[in-house]
Amino acid sequence: MPVTWMSLCRQYRNDNDFRGSLNFFVISFAIAVVSWFFGVVMLFMAFVVCMLNAYFCGKYYGQKPIYALQATFLGLVYDFCLFYKTCFFNFSTMQPVLKLNGASTTLLFYWKASPLGIFCGYTFVLSLFHFSEFIVTAVSNRRSLQPDSFLLNHSAAYWIAAFASWTEFFLEVHFTPFLKVYAISGLGFIICMCGEVIRKLAMLHAGNGFTHRLALSKRPDHRLVTTGIYSYLRHPGYAGWFLWSIGTQIILCNPICLFSYAYITWHFFKERIYDEERDLIHFFVKREGGSAKEYVLNCQRCINDDQ
């Protein structure tokens, strides 16, 4: 079923978890914006109040508190990254510079490099990814929606990798600050957004067929999606996440974690895709043949394997 404004409005009215999470995200974001004008102490107080409010409101107004808490936390992080003075470009330190070339004078603008601004850009992308995973899951595959859909508890390995990238970033800020370049960081942001779009299109086009866990058996409504983004890529969800993951390290200008993420993610998806290809052949090609077999033979994998 295609997603339309009418279907979104209908889901907002009827779905407590979807409506509550969206409301808590927006409200916490708005409160944090106002708190910025009253200093860091007020911002911290707003964080505590918003989290307590999310817990009690979620508990007593028909929603699981875990939904409200995660949405509120992401809304606050999203605000901090978006409105902090040094998010990507530190506009508070933008200084006019006059450059003299013979008789001509060119007015340029110089943005003072800010490592914290780069890190805010990374955290902005991170919070956007986790909240959008929940929202798009709610819209495209409601029956699989659960607190885990935020992917904040994805796995221990996921957060260990994230912590490793943070450690590398701040060590390099201290010892090799020249590695942190806004132009490279901006390129990483573009790559992340491309990965986001590809992954979200995969979720929307697959509908009920897209889950965060491997399907071990074929459901009655399980179908092979060969249209939309799937007509170009066989595993666009993985391709999008691969782009997003390496894009985060380009945002941080982390050379070590960039190659580590690329290597580990590539090999993880090779194994995962091998399992999915086996199930795809079992679920569809052997039973349906014809168009399903033609799709498997002709559509690009993007992340290939030689198994």
- The per-residue pLDDT for range 84-140, each reduced to its tens digit, is 654 444 444 444 434 444 444 443 333 445 788 889 889 999 999 999 999 999 999
Most confident of 233-237, 284-288, 290-294: 233-237
CB 202 within 8 Å of CB 210: yes
Q: 3-state DSSP call for residue 100? A: strand
Q: How does pLDDT run across 239-282, given as a tens digit for each residue?
A: 999 999 999 999 999 999 999 999 999 988 888 877 777 766 66
C-alpha closest to that of 257 among 164, 185, 192, 190: 164
106 φ, ψ to 5°? -115, 130
Domain ranges of the chain: 87-114+153-298
Q: How many CB atoms lie within 10 A of CB 149?
A: 22
pTM of the model: 0.83
C-alpha closest to that of 150 among 179, 128, 130: 130
Q: How does pLDDT run across 123-139, given as a tens digit for each residue?
A: 999 999 999 999 999 99
